[in-house]
């Protein structure tokens, strides 16, 4: 008979809470290492994504999506899955310079992304 052993504990990192929608996008070369939960904006000219920084003027200053997993786009474009709708744990977001939870929430609500502070 097979023996099951405890290999460790599974601890979910509940970035998304409940139903959500995702899609594949391109993270622009030079973006560096971006962590799971990074708020991204889309560059208007090439439709690629960067960390959303409020002072940018290339379109990426507008929060558009949330990165699902860490990526390294230091030296090349990288395909990544991003969340484009759903409820997200606001405490797990990585915000770019100049953004606050309030500033991204105002934009995300128009995109059906809801920032939630989990209870408990």
Cβ-based neighbour number of residue 80 at 10 Å: 22
> pLDDT tens across 64-109, in order?
999 999 999 999 999 999 999 999 999 999 999 999 999 999 999 9
Contact predicate 92/13, CB 8 Å: yes
Tokens read off for 100: 């606050």
The percent of residues above 90 in pLDDT, for the chain, comes to: 82
Residue 17 — φ and ψ, nearest 5°?
A: -115, 105
Q: Whole-model pTM?
A: 0.88
Contact predicate 21/83, CB 8 Å: yes
């Amino acid at each position: 008979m097979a023996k099951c052993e405890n290999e460790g504990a599974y601890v979910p990192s509940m970035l998304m809470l409940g139903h959500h929608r995702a899609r594949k996008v391109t993270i622009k070369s030079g973006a560096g290492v971006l962590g799971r939960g990074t708020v991204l904006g889309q560059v208007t000219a090439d439709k690629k994504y960067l960390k959303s920084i409020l002072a940018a003027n290339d379109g990426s200053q507008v929060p558009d999506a949330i990165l699902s997993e860490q990526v390294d786009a230091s030296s090349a474009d990288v395909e990544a899955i991003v969340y484009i709708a759903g409820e997200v744990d606001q405490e797990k977001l990585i915000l770019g310079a100049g953004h606050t939870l309030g500033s991204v929430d105002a934009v995300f609500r128009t995109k059906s992304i809801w920032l939630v502070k989990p209870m408990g």
